[in-house]
Chain A
Amino acid sequence: MNRFVWPLIAVAALLVFLVMGLRHGDPRALPSPFIGKPAPEFELPTLKNPEVTVGTDNLAGKYALVNVWATWCVMCRSEHPFLMQLAQRKAIPIYGINWRDSRPDAIRWLDQLGDPYVASAYDEDGRVGIDWGVYGAPETFLIDPEGTVIYKHLGPLDPQVWEREFVARMNQREADQ
């Protein structure tokens, strides 16, 4: 009987790891190396007016969202109504990074569906996207008043995600201070 004990323990240990791995959620989701670090510096022309720029300086001194979006991104369309809600409630200023998109298409999108953004940066060649470690859209970063990235969400926002991941983190940070 004794000879079965060790293999059993080994198999049980493997099973524990398997279950942990399965419960981990989206296997493609990568932890962002920016959490707890200053938001990467950037300055880009805005989508609607190439003469005006938007960048890290605009984020200073308040909680803000940085939302990476594009017109080719299907999930961006599905989260868009919720972004509009956030903007109408004045819950938080939302800054967009329009990532690897065509300017006329993106402007048409905002005209048709509404513009939840304080401003959208136009990242035509994806350079700023790389600096922010973006690997898919939509991605949403939560920036605190000191300009630190406190959370990054992969995929579309919705009311549940907003309460659970964003509001909770802002409250937590306020409580810590």
Chain B
Amino acid sequence: MKHALLFACLMLLSIAAMAIDQERRFDDPELQARYEHLISEVRCLQCQNQSIKDSNVTLAADLRREIARMIDEGKTDEEIADFLVTRYGEFALYRPRMTGKTLVLWIVPFLLVLLGVFALVRVVRHRVALPVGDDSDERQDP
């Protein structure tokens, strides 16, 4: 009985194993880590909110194959990113590189945070400057 239960549990676990398709494995763990990292950083163009690591569509599989091939050929991460960007644009990378075109993407969030801090400081200063008990600023209606 105990064995049957264990067997049943193992059968359930095997469903997860089926999800791992005939994926490329590298013998060198360092290359494997690079491969896994690269494919998690590339957007699947057909299913735009997934990385090609998570996607099962054919284009994602093709791109994984191409990336594995380039790693085999000894290409650097930079060269692999270039390969994708010349074909699909910066959009293919989850973290677009800092170039003239994408500079605004990188700078605007920091500018917005600065603006928020500036506004906050102004509001707090203004409140502090009010005499205690004077809440005229809060409620202007009679």
Chain A interface residues toward B at CB < 8 A: 28, 30-33, 40, 100, 125-127, 129-133, 135-136
Contacts and interface: CB of A to CB of B under 8 A. Distances in A.
Nearest to B63: A130
B48 A131 contact: no
The DSSP consensus for interface residues of chain A is: loop
Given A100-B58, A135-B46, A130 B86 contact: no
A33 B58 contact: no
Contact of A133 (B46, B48, B66, B87): B87
A129 B62 contact: yes
How many interface residues does chain B have, given as a range? 10 to 19
A127 B63 CA distance: 9
A33 B89 contact: yes
Contacts of A31: 89
B62 A133 contact: no
A31 B92 CA distance: 11
B120 interface: no
Contacts of A136: 45-46
Given A100-B58, A130-B66, 17 more contacts: A28-B48, A30-B88, A30-B89, A30-B91, A31-B89, A32-B89, A33-B85, A33-B86, A40-B87, A127-B62, A127-B66, A130-B59, A130-B63, A130-B87, A133-B89, A135-B59, A136-B45
A139 to B, nearest CB: 11
B74 to A, nearest CB: 19
Interface of B: 45-46, 48, 58-59, 62-63, 66, 85-89, 91
Given A132-B87, A133-B87, A135-B88, A30 B63 contact: no
Contacts of A135: 45-46, 59, 88
Contacts of A126: 58-59, 62
A33 B88 contact: yes
Contacts of B88: 30, 33, 133, 135
Contacts of A131: 87
B62 A30 contact: no
Nearest to B115: A10
Nearest to B60: A135
Nearest to B65: A125
A151 B63 CA distance: 24
Q: Give the one of B48, B63, B86, B87 with max A CB within 10 A.
A: B87
A135 B84 CA distance: 12
A132 B85 CA distance: 12
A170 B133 CA distance: 73
Contacts of A28: 48
Contacts of B48: 28
B62 A125 contact: yes
A40 B87 CA distance: 9
Contacts of B63: 130
A31 B101 CA distance: 13
